[in-house]
Chain A
Amino acid sequence: MSDKVTSIKIAGLGGMGVLTSTQILAEVFFRQGLDVKKAEVHGMSQRGGSICSDVRFGKKVFSPMIPAGEIDFLVLFQDDQFPLYEAECSPGTSILKSSAIDLAKLENKRALNIAMLGLLSRHLNVPADAWLKVIRGNLPEKLHKVNEAAFELGRQSA
């Protein structure tokens, strides 16, 4: 990896699992030995409102918040949230939309967040096993199978 910091913004609505997937994403890169920071908002906006969180990793990360224009990946759990973050994107931003996932194949709709991590994982140089290990570590055992399937579904999606 170069010294460049990679910045990923995850956006959705309260209750969609934004915080869980942010934790998993950050932990995956923490375990790669990198410096990692995540920034998120708790509290009032959890009540169904629009929420987003930032994950940044690299050799050394300062601000936990992604500066405008420096988003490398914008991960949208709901496509219609895009206008909220459009101004922070640059021509270099890759936008990953939930519409890329075939929802009919998603066994449990609540696992969309993990499917989106699967989609994101295609662009990041970490083996699937490393992702799955962290996913399992962050979810109760009875949810492992359905979320592993969701991750694979996302990873196979274009």
Chain B
Amino acid sequence: MERQFLMGNEAVALGALHAGAARGTGYPGTPSSEILDVYSKLGGKAEWSPNEKVAAEVALGVSFAGVRAFTTMKHVGLNVAADVLFTAAYSGVDGALVFIVADDPGLASSQNEQDTRRYAVAAGVPLVEPSDSQEAYDFTRLAFEISERWKIPVIVKLTTRVCHSGTIVVPRKPDHHLPKAHFERNIPYHVMVPGHARPAHRRLRQKLAEIAEWNEKEGPNQKIEGSKDLGILVSGVAYQHVREAAPDASVFKIGMSYPLPMRRMLDFVASVDRAVVIEENDPYMADAVRAAGGAIESAPEMYRFGELDVGRVKRILAHDVTPEAVPPRGKPPQLCAGCPHTVVFEILKRHNCIVAGDIGCYTLAALQPLAAMDTQICMGASLGVGIGLRHVLPREEAKRVVSVIGDSTFVHSGLTGLAEMTYNVPPTGHVLLILDNATTAMTGQQEHPGTGRLLDHTPANQLDYEAVVRAMNVPNVGVFDPIRQLGEFEKALVEALGKDELTVLIVRRPCILAVARKGVKPASAEG
């Protein structure tokens, strides 16, 4: 087939399409967000789910019907979906189930630098690591094949640099003659009660042993013959940096990082005078090789922080631990001019509120000049953290605590926090603001259950926030447009802060970027 120039995310979408996936699910998260949109535009069936756990469950259900499914998320999304992953590893799948998980070394747009390879080990599922768009395409297709062959979920681990780099891809012929969806009753394999899970765990370990053997013999690992003076063990995009930084070195590139092809790795280490492992994030391969008795150098601790590049690889090879130059800071990101979030945070600041915040564009309110958000940890934490503060702070301080969450984040992880708020009510009550801008703004204006439209922007059921909040027995509920009804909103907030009751204020005005996007009028834009 003809060569194409694709970003890693586009290559994954094309790979899933050519693998004949029946459905792709996911929740947006930089750097993974483009995959499902592209997949849908290419003709694949795709959905935005309320969160990653639900997305993974839907994909598992699809795979229980004997067909191929995949689910996409950023690395921290796998924390939410981990409950599914660990036990789906036991149950196994009937068709295929592929988790596409995008790590963010260097934190271009994330709250941590966690390494998904650790999840593969912990859950016991195979993991492949592409180094460019061609491999993003190839390894996605391979992941479906491995998943189907061994009836096991497989992770494709991407990184920001692979997701958002464009490189050339030559696709292959799509898979044909895939099975049709049907349900086959198999209670011991699909119902993970203890009596079924005990043998399932043994089956899982047996599968992993077979896959490890396969990886030794025919896994997607690549040896580049070079000088015996220096041998480099490497995975992911770091491979590209290594080839440029050390063109003469022998290289063993690991494409499947769990289970590792340890015999071949140890042979490689023994075959060179100096063996060095180059990997982004955690010293995962370094630890594994050493635990298996291999003598290998790894990067000094300073290089586990941030992305690698050609210069840093050269430094690692030269044992250079002198401080690295700090790049000059550019203009920081900020809320758009005219963003409806800005005025809300100005008011919260004016009233000296302690703001338990959440994840979205509005997190930028924590930065100067607004500096009007006091906590942000993970999706949905605004509720729990705000409620915790309310429970123990002295009364006068507790009464200033406000939880602030966006619409998409509320649907993702705020509903259970709201149940907590109305169940374990703090002595001073609590105040929650739902900032409803009718889109998942930060990740690129994706739809969600509150927008009234599906992933492809066609109409759908729309979640009614006011009705949900009232159904959870919140006595005080208000809805305000932060631009047209700014005064009324401020008055309602002050009133809520003065009461020892529960209040939810829905601040509703569409994102200016979503409105600007042609042909997509937010369903709730009339307000």
Contact = CB atoms under 8 A, between A and B. Distances in A.
A41 B336 contact: no
B161 interface: yes
Interface string A31-43: 0000111111111
Nearest to A86: B328
Contacts of A39: 161, 164-165
A64 B165 CA distance: 7
19 contacts: A30-B5, A36-B166, A41-B108, A42-B30, A42-B34, A43-B109, A43-B442, A44-B108, A45-B333, A47-B333, A49-B334, A50-B332, A63-B240, A64-B165, A64-B167, A64-B237, A65-B241, A86-B328, A87-B327
The DSSP consensus for interface residues of chain A is: mixed
B327 to A, nearest CB: 7
Given A62-B241, A63-B241, A40 B333 contact: no
B170 to A, nearest CB: 12
A84 interface: yes
A84 B326 CA distance: 11
Interface residues on B, range: 35 or more
Interface in A27-81: 27, 30, 35-51, 62-65, 67-68, 81
Nearest to A50: B330
Which interface residue of A30, A40, A44, A87 has the most chain B CB atoms within 10 A?
A: A44
Given A65-B310, A67-B244, 11 more contacts: A13-B331, A26-B166, A30-B168, A39-B165, A44-B108, A44-B333, A44-B442, A45-B109, A47-B335, A48-B333, A63-B309
Contacts of A49: 330-334
A91 interface: no
Contacts, number: 108
Contact of B160 (A37, A41, A51, A68): A41
| Chain B residues touching A, majority SS | loop
Contacts of A51: 330
Nearest to A51: B330
A83 interface: yes
B504 interface: no
B109 A42 contact: yes
Nearest to B364: A47
Contacts of A83: 328
A154 B168 CA distance: 28
A47 B244 contact: no
Interface in B293-331: 309-311, 325, 327-331
Given A62-B244, A67-B310, A47 B334 contact: yes
Contacts of B311: 67-68
B361 interface: yes
Contacts of A38: 165-167
B310 to A, nearest CB: 4
A67 B309 contact: yes
Contact of B109 (A36, A44, A62): A44
Contacts of B310: 63, 65, 67
A132 B312 CA distance: 38
Interface of A: 13-14, 23, 26-27, 30, 35-51, 62-65, 67-68, 81, 83-84, 86-87
A87 B330 CA distance: 13
Contacts of A64: 132, 161, 165-167, 237, 240
A84 B327 CA distance: 7
B331 A50 contact: yes
Nearest to B167: A37
Interface in B391-438: none
Contacts of B332: 49-50
A141 B212 CA distance: 53
B31 interface: yes
Contact of A47 (B108, B132, B327, B336): B336
Interface in B51-87: none
A63 B243 CA distance: 8
B40 interface: no
B334 A62 contact: no
A77 to B, nearest CB: 12
A118 B265 CA distance: 49
B309 A48 contact: no
A148 B491 CA distance: 53
Nearest to B339: A47
A22 to B, nearest CB: 8
Contacts of A36: 5, 166-168
Interface in B30-46: 30-31, 33-34
B335 A65 contact: no
A42 B309 CA distance: 18
Contacts of B328: 83-84, 86-87
A14 B327 CA distance: 19
Contacts of A46: 333
B376 interface: no
A126 to B, nearest CB: 15
A51 B165 CA distance: 15
A30 B332 CA distance: 32
A13 B334 CA distance: 11
A49 B364 CA distance: 12
B443 interface: yes
A38 B240 CA distance: 13
A40 to B, nearest CB: 6
A84 B310 CA distance: 19
Given A63-B241, A65-B309, A43 B31 contact: yes
A84 B333 contact: no
Contacts of B33: 42
Given A39-B164, A48-B336, A62 B361 contact: no
Most buried by B among A13, A14, A39, A47: A47
